[in-house]
Structure 1
Amino acid sequence: MYGDKTIIEGLNLRIPAGKIVVFVGPSGCGKTTTLKMINRLIEPTSGVILLNGQDVLKQDKVEVRRSIGYVIQQIGLFPHMTIAENIALVPRLSNRKAGIDIAKTDRMLRMVGLDPDTYRDRYPSELSGGQQQRIGVARALMSDPPIILMDEPFSALDPITREQLQDELIRLNEDVHKTIVFVTHDMDEALKIADEIVIMQAGKVVQQGSPEQILRHPANPFVREFLGEKRLTPHLSLVVDDVMLKQPVKIDPRKGLAEAIQVMQNRKVTGIIVTDKNDNYLGVVDTTDIYAKYSEESLSIGDVMRKNAVTVLSGSALLEAIPLVQQAPFGFVPVIDAQERLKGLLTRGSLVDVLAKPYLEEVKSE
């Protein structure tokens, strides 16, 4: 509470060890306050906070903070200290030693993807924002804490650097298996890095679960709105052109059957689209069609191709095309324009990234 105002109300949750748990929600929902209560930067007015079964509220708050890694958006590197000195700061304070464990410092640098010989003796001002954030993570890992708290650490970075550090965090925790409590307001970031997501609203937890569970079963209208309909049902807003292969394997109808087999072997496909020199769509042919007539050397692809294969018009809604792809005997459907020119190829593989599963399961159940 701040004065007579309750900020966090009835918070009751368990954070699994060794996982990345992401708190997400709109500004002012209590994410950062919850994070700061874990290491007692903010003291709760009631309740208990257990770390490995021990109530941190009954422990010395300085020792609690030294035993928990903490990474923030502003990083907080000391400008007058070298990178090695910054990383080794907490162990030096805890053990009251002036010296630096160079071997361990170098190991932390390598762990976050930085070459020790290049960065060990530099100063923070000589590093980019992304490199400084890596140093912040290395410093948090240096004392080998069971828990690392991260308060919007990547939000001030450019999109490319941010994505790189998100990938690095996922990779890193596969190696070190720390319990990472991560705060963000970015739902895309939460869905990418989290093993579990905790969605907060007005100081309360409204849903906790894996990204898959939350995407499939949003708890209430607030969660649905916060996720956004495009994340829940992405195929509804897409057209076939968004996911089709734009350079499918093609063949001229005058080519021989042996030539077609060679093309298939080289391109590792079992079917080819047949077009003329102007890219006008003519038909499809697969290995079954070719081998059925392979002994007749006088035949060309135009003689054995299928002219009645199902096609889909460019610009069509992906939702309408999904069942056509699933039912196609070749596992693909050509995409053509109004003039019947080939525009691309819609395959079962090209549908994977659009989360068509909810729709497909609905179709199967009918």
Structure 2
Amino acid sequence: MASMACTTYSIVRVGTRAYRVCSESLQRRGASTSARAASPAGASAAASPRASSTVQPRQSIHSNGEKVMAEVSCPALCFGAIIGKGGATIKALTAETGAAIRVPKGIRTGVGAITISGTPEQVDAATARITDLVDKAANRPQGDFTHFLGLALPLPSEDRATHDALAAFQAQAYELAKRTSVGDGPDPLVQIPPTEMHLTLAMLRLPTPEVVAKAVRVFKESSAAVYDAVGTRTVLVRLGGAACFGSPAKATTVHSRVDDTSGSVHNLTRVLFDRLIKEDLMPESEARDPKLHLTILRYLARRANKKPADAAESADAEAGSETAVASPAKSWPSFDASEIIARLGDATRVVDAVRLPSVVLYRRERREGPEGSEYIAEAKIGLP
């Protein structure tokens, strides 16, 4: 215990690693070694190449249960990968390795040092695990979303009644919106084509063909687990009244509320999220329970100073609606949906039960399909 109270440390190199060790411990170790060197056995040990090796301090410290300390440099942006949601990851690392791990607080940019202390074996194990987590976090795909997980609606030819009800609801909302001034310019209010409608579960960044191929493989391999999560029950949802993200007076989209009446959507979502996180295809921080909604109207913005990447995102209702609320400082073009929400809100029921035929890995590109414009499907899993 005395070594842990020490405030003066020396640097001890063990192979390619450097540890900070209490100087008093080294002094005691040096005195003990000198005493042994005075005896024939001690002289023999001192003459041995192994005794003079740089590895020797680690061995002697370990044999007496001494504590060592190491530091791992880590970009501040990767601290979250070490801590985990609610501290879950760092707790698991501590339990797994036995080392004490301290992540610096108050650092938002640049590089900080994660401090690890324990026996040499504990420190080595924790250092290896943390280095691996940092490498994965640093190499995680960044940039714009390229794909998304979604639940497909039945096609018009498969469920005409649902599409007729949605078309009537959409037309009512559109007419109410046109009664008020739409934004501050000529930008149109767009009605989402029925064949493009879907329930978004998560947005994904799959930047290269190799990563896309990996995601497709992992997605398809998850089909058995999805079936287990859903069981033999048909996946049904209820489509409710009109709503929007944020203030109705500054809406970017209008959607129908969606109720997961059976809980099946939640179950299959968790299965897919767990698989994608395990394969480093989705950051754990983005694996949030989706706010289920079915977009029916969007404001198609054409800002003069908009970059091409911004244009692509604003044209996608799924990426733009919640983003506008999450980033209020940005000037997102909007329209007044107050009357829509007042007249077609909580008391409205669009469809009591809609069967969802499949969960799909979509690319954020559209093409003309046999029944209208649709998102390109990379892979799909049929549902009961």
TM-score, normalized by length of structure 2? 0.22
Q: Higher strand share goes to which structure?
A: 2
